[in-house]
Amino acid sequence: MDLFNKILDYRYPIDVLTYKIVIDGICTNENANAALRFMGKMEKSEFRVDVNVCSMIIDSFFKENQVNEAFNLFREMVAKNIQPDVVMYNSLIHGLCRFGRHKEAMSLFEKMMSQNVSPNVRTCSILVDVLSKQGKMKEAFQIVEMMSQTGVKPNVVTYNSLIHGLCNLGQWNEATKLSHEMVSHGISPDVQTYSILIDYKCKEGKIDEAHHIFEMITEKGDEPDIITYSSLMDGYCLQGRMEEAKRVFDSMVVKGHEADICSYNILINCYCKATKMDEAIQIFNEMQSKRLKPNTTTYTTLIGGFCKVGEVSEAKDLFKDMLARGERPNLFTYGTLMDGLCNNDRFEEANELYNQLEKNGLKADIVIYNIILDGMCKTEKLFEAKELFYSLSTKNLQPNTRTYNIMINGYCKAGMLDEAEALFHVMVEKNLVPNDFTFNILTQGFLVQGIDANMAMHFVNTMIEKGFSLTAETTSKLLNLHAPSGPNHERINMLLNFPQKA
């Protein structure tokens, strides 16, 4: 701007290209309002504003999250008989998609077509990406079909979106076929393509196949990016293979990639799952020495790790440190610490945390209430648990299978078998599916009281029909159950051959 003002001061001639260069520079520095004001100067100098100038500013407005301002300029542009082109529509459609306004984006696409503005590969790729992320693969492929009919060829970005969408839906065979089709059409997979495939393989537990794909990238002479490395690390962590995960992390750093907060969080999570808290804290400290600020995920992971090994005081200290550093806990953070406190017989502290959660403006969900109900039942506050359970509907919350299991278990432990059975029937009536835990606790409840072995066997038979497994504790109690005439060998043989859970 200083240089431009000097040009004005010295009265050098200014052409339309100079104005466009300055507007582009202002937009690059993310100051759309200043660019808009400068466009006004351009108009006062009797230069005609064209669609390219408007597109630059509209795109800048979207990048600065000023959606209304972007559309105000669009309407103003149309009123001045400046006809939108494909670049302009792409900016608008992409901007709407970024803000989740997908229906408006599709309407704008239809308007674009009705005005005989032909979409290009970027337009179609934007829509394919949105539809694929929503799991609407049929509609996404319809866009691809339209591309072939209008002579627009899909590029690697289009294929990546489709492959990602198919992987998210677990349609691995279709994703593989599509990747082969892509190559047969002369489009080479890029690092993002491989990253998508690696991420999916890792989530499916096929880490060796994921590593093979990773090696294919380097064999091609390409360098995996930090997302690729992180996906592979996460895959090893899911398998509990910490040493391999750390090797991938170290390799990433050696190759010149600067580890980000996501990479460190994956590694911390890996050590926490393996209950190696010393190593987790070491990575936590290393991350901070690199001037990376721990985020909510970092703290929540560490809090969960310390709770898992019974070191609840350390978990509470981390929670305090988190607050002191201005990092706001989310519901998952509260739930993790509350669950840890309850599991370590510190229900009153968990309850205090619940009160703090609400004071901080967070609304407890069913997961939080399940933790509170479980704590109440474990501390023999069944009456309070019952009151809270029946008040959930007033909080616009619906109990889930876990909620019913907690209450049924509470009733069984208290010897209130009629209430437990009645709640089981209510659960079924509400179309909530009982799981193996439901049947195991009911079976154990009737066996412990020793008043109705037939009812216990009824639940066992139902379990068999539904394909559920007995826990070792349930099996042990059933094996000790004798008929009046002596051990029931048929029942014992059945139980010994029955699938069991640890």
pLDDT in tens, 228-257: 999 999 999 988 898 999 999 999 999 999
Among 239-243, 289-293, 445-449, name the one with the lowest average pLDDT.
Answer: 445-449
Q: Are 390 and 384 in contact (CB under 8 A)?
A: no
Among 27-31, 185-189, 238-242, name the one with the lowest average pLDDT.
Answer: 27-31
Distance CA 123, CA 136 (A): 17
Residue whose C-alpha is closest to residue 32's, from 43, 20, 23: 23
For 145, the enclosing helix (H) or strand (E) is helix 137-149
**Model pLDDT, residue 10:** 45
The DSSP 8-state label assigned to residue 485 in this structure reads T
How far, rounded to the nearest angstrom, does the alpha carbon of residue 344 sit from its chain's CA centroid? 29
Q: Which residues contact 292 (CB under 8 A, 6 or more apart)?
A: 259, 260, 261, 264
**Sign of the CA dihedral running 12, 14, 17, 22:** positive
How far, rounded to the nearest angstrom, does the alpha carbon of residue 452 sit from its chain's CA centroid? 46
Does the pLDDT of residue 479 top 80, yes or no? Answer: no
Average pLDDT over the chain reads 86
**Model pLDDT, residue 61:** 85
Q: DSSP labels for 454-481?
A: HHHHHHHHHHHHHT--EEHHHHHHHHT-
The tens digit of pLDDT for each residue in 395-411 reads 999 999 999 999 999 99
Q: How far is CA 465 from CA 147, 246, 469, 471, in A?
A: 51, 45, 11, 16
Does the pLDDT of residue 7 top 70, yes or no? Answer: no
Q: Which residues contact 500 (CB under 8 A, 6 or more apart)?
A: 469, 470, 471, 472, 475
**Model pLDDT, residue 309:** 94
The DSSP 8-state label assigned to residue 486 in this structure reads B
Q: pTM of this prediction?
A: 0.76
Does the pLDDT of residue 211 top 50, yes or no? Answer: yes
- 350-379: average pLDDT: 92
Distance CA 231, CA 245 (A): 10
Distance CA 270, CA 295 (A): 17
**Model pLDDT, residue 12:** 47
- What's the burial of 326, exposed, middle or buried (CB within 10 Å: 0-12/13-18/19+)? exposed
Q: Are 338 and 350 in contact (CB under 8 A)?
A: yes
Distance CA 178, CA 262 (A): 29
Q: DSSP labels for 407-445?
A: HHHHHHHTT-HHHHHHHHHHHHHTTPPP-HHHHHHHHHH
Write down all domains in the chain, each with its CATH number in brackets.
Answer: 1-117 (1.25.40.10), 132-189 (no CATH), 196-292 (1.25.40.10), 400-501 (1.25.40.10)
Residue 11: strand, helix, or coil: coil
Distance CA 2, CA 22 (A): 11
**Model pLDDT, residue 483:** 47
Residue whose C-alpha is closest to residue 4's, from 58, 43, 42, 60: 42
**Model pLDDT, residue 493:** 57
> Which range in 92-96, 217-221, 329-333, 355-359 is most confidently predicted, on average pLDDT?
329-333
Q: How far is CA 322 from CA 264, 299, 314, 318, in A?
A: 17, 7, 12, 6
**Confidence band (pLDDT; 50, 70, 90) for 8?**
very low
- What's the burial of 51, exposed, middle or buried (CB within 10 Å: 0-12/13-18/19+)? middle
Q: Which residues contact 303 (CB under 8 A, 6 or more apart)?
A: 315, 318, 319, 333, 336, 337, 340
